[in-house]
Amino acid sequence: MESVPPCQTRKKAIPEIMPARATDLVSLDAAAGTPGCSRPLFGLDSSALSARMAEIGEPAWRGKQLSEAIYNQSIAEISAITTLPKSLRDRLAAKGWQIGRPAIVQAFQSVDGTERYLIQCSSPTPAPEPAAGPLPFELLTVEPLTVETVWMPEGDGGDAGDDPGRGPDGDPNNEPRNNEHRNDVAKDWRRATICVSSQVGCAVNCQFCLTARLGLQRNLTAGEIAGQVVAVLDRQRARVGRDRVNLVFMGMGEPFLNYDNFMAAVRLLVHEVGLSPQRMTVSTSGIVPGIERFAQEPADIRPRLAISLNAPNDEIRTAVMPINRKWSIAQVIDAVQQVPLRPRERVTFEYVLLGGVTDRPQDARELARLVRRTGLPAKVNLIAWNPGPGIDYSMPQPATVEAFHQLLMDEGIHAFIRQPRGRDIFAACGQLKRTVEG
């Protein structure tokens, strides 16, 4: 398998890997960005919007109108909400309210159709204390605050084998919404996956992951998490309820170390935007208190669960994921067993194949035993390690990946190989790291 050279900058790396259809940097709707937006409406749900309206003497149903405009019609400026009287729009603006939706400011396009975006959020805030212990590297201070989001037409962002088995029209949670304005542009994709970030950087020090090198810079707010999705849906002219768009919370950060904002974003995406939680998958490195809370969430709001297992036993897992010292494999599995799964739902175990470290035949057999012992309806997503500058692992040989996959299937395990997407633009798993070209 071709390996990415240890590159200093993306500009050097891209031409070597993607000679055709070059991308480079595309400047987008930066004007719609929201640096320093202090009163964003985006992120508030219908009832919070109604409360804001009531505070200024407006009827509560104005909140619903605002919600429709912001989340369904993707309107990014208050002045453009023509369902509100002009006098009300002016009053909102005079009081400092803005829609404040995160905006795509740069896009990188891969030869395989994947797009990686830098999305600008509101102004930076101080980083919270890392919950997973001290960071082995310095926190960076970067302005303006951007976060990374990835669009993968035709999958596979980790949803291999995840299709709920019903077409969008048969999915009761996917009723068409009032966003037909997104309907008029020809599209060259039939299904797609958006990979969403939950934090800027990450405090969990997985040894193979580029995002870890950033440390945790800050949690994203609910609006910043949901806003990535709405900004990308808008750019891609996706029609909620018609197009098969899956979300995977597998971008930068550990969603379960930003639990409240993450779940508030899911509620916005389900209740306001109209997406189905059955088309969402959240991935965690195994934050046990987070999994336990997640188990309490109602089924009509709870995304599917993926666990980054990444090793067949505690010894190897601790070496590649030091968080395993805090919560062992057995503790993680205990917590996962508390999650009440929906009919036909499976838990995903993600497994990064690190050449010579986790990709040996004995690892496959031990992994199969481990997965069987859990008694869970489960599937395994195999991810060939994606390289990153300064990370000292090697990619597995393609034949080794195939053999590992075959061994798991021979052992009766549902297993899929996740196809790497957007490696040439550093959009693949574990490669997201706030890229700012110099």
In the bound complex, what is the minimum distance in angstroms from residue 399's beta carbon to ligand SAH? 18
C-alpha distance from residue 44 to each of 41, 49, 234, 261, 327 (Å): 6, 6, 19, 12, 34
Q: Are 382 and 353 in contact (CB under 8 A)?
A: yes
Q: Which of 319, 246, 248, 317 is nearest to 285 (CA)?
A: 317
- Judged by CB under 6 A, the residue of 221, 374, 386, 435 near ligand SAH is 386
Beta bridge partners of 152: 193
Angle (CA) 436-18-434 rounded to 5° is 20
**Binding site partner of 348, from ligand SF4, ligand SAH, none, Cβ cut-off 5-8 A by kind:** none
Number of chain residues interacting with ligand SF4 (CB under 6 A):
11
In the bound complex, what is the minimum distance in angstroms from residue 283's beta carbon to ligand SAH? 4
> In the complex with ligand SF4, which residue's Cβ is closer, 81 or 206?
206
Q: Are 302 and 338 in contact (CB under 8 A)?
A: no
For residue 311, state whether it binds ligand SF4 (rule: CB under 6 A): no
In the bound complex, what is the minimum distance in angstroms from residue 410's beta carbon to ligand SF4? 28
Q: Which of 431, 371, 346, 370 is nearest to 395 (CA)?
A: 431
For residue 400, state whether it binds ligand SF4 (rule: CB under 6 A): no
CA-CA distance, 112 to 132, in Å (whole number)?
36
In the bound complex, what is the minimum distance in angstroms from residue 90's beta carbon to ligand SF4? 43
**Binding site partner of 386, from ligand SAH, ligand SF4, none, Cβ cut-off 5-8 A by kind:** ligand SAH
For residue 248, state whether it binds ligand SF4 (rule: CB under 6 A): no
Element (H, E) at 379: strand 378-384
Cis amide prior to 29 (ω within 30 degrees):
no
CA-CA distance, 205 to 213, in Å (whole number)?
8
C-alpha distance from residue 420 to each of 18, 113, 302 (Å): 14, 12, 26
> In the complex with ligand SAH, which residue's Cβ is closer, 102 or 286?
286
Q: Which of 91, 52, 99 is nearest to 74 (CA)?
A: 99
Contacts (CB under 6 A) with ligand SAH, residues 313-352: 350, 352
Contacts (CB under 6 A) with ligand SAH, residues 93-132: none
User: Among all chains, which residue has been given the structure tokens 């393609």?
Assistant: 398
- Segment interacting with ligand SAH (CB under 6 A) among 23-31, 43-51, 166-174, 202-210: 202-210
In the bound complex, what is the minimum distance in angstroms from residue 143's beta carbon to ligand SF4? 22
CA-CA distance, 220 to 258, in Å (whole number)?
8
- Judged by CB under 6 A, the residue of 115, 254, 272, 424 near ligand SF4 is 254
For residue 50, state whether it binds ligand SAH (rule: CB under 6 A): no
> In the complex with ligand SF4, which residue's Cβ is closer, 241 or 430?
430
Cis amide prior to 144 (ω within 30 degrees):
yes
Q: Where are the beta strands (DSSP E) in 44-160?
A: 97-98, 103-109, 115-120, 146-153
- Segment interacting with ligand SAH (CB under 6 A) among 10-18, 181-189, 267-275, 278-286: 278-286
Q: How far apart are the first and last CA of the chain?
A: 29
Which residues carry out catalysis? 148, 429
User: HSE (CB half, 13 Å, CA atoms) of 47?
Assistant: 2
Q: Per-residue contact track with ligand SF4, 184 to 223, x per CB under 6 A?
A: ------------------x-x-x--x-xx-----------
- Judged by CB under 6 A, the residue of 13, 429, 433, 434 near ligand SAH is 429
> In the complex with ligand SAH, which residue's Cβ is closer, 77 or 334?
334
Q: Are 132 and 106 in contact (CB under 8 A)?
A: no
- Contacting residues toward ligand SF4, per CB under 6 A: 202, 204, 206, 209, 211-212, 253-254, 285, 308, 430
- Contacting residues toward ligand SAH, per CB under 6 A: 202, 208-209, 250, 254, 283-285, 308, 310, 350, 352, 383, 385-386, 388, 429-430
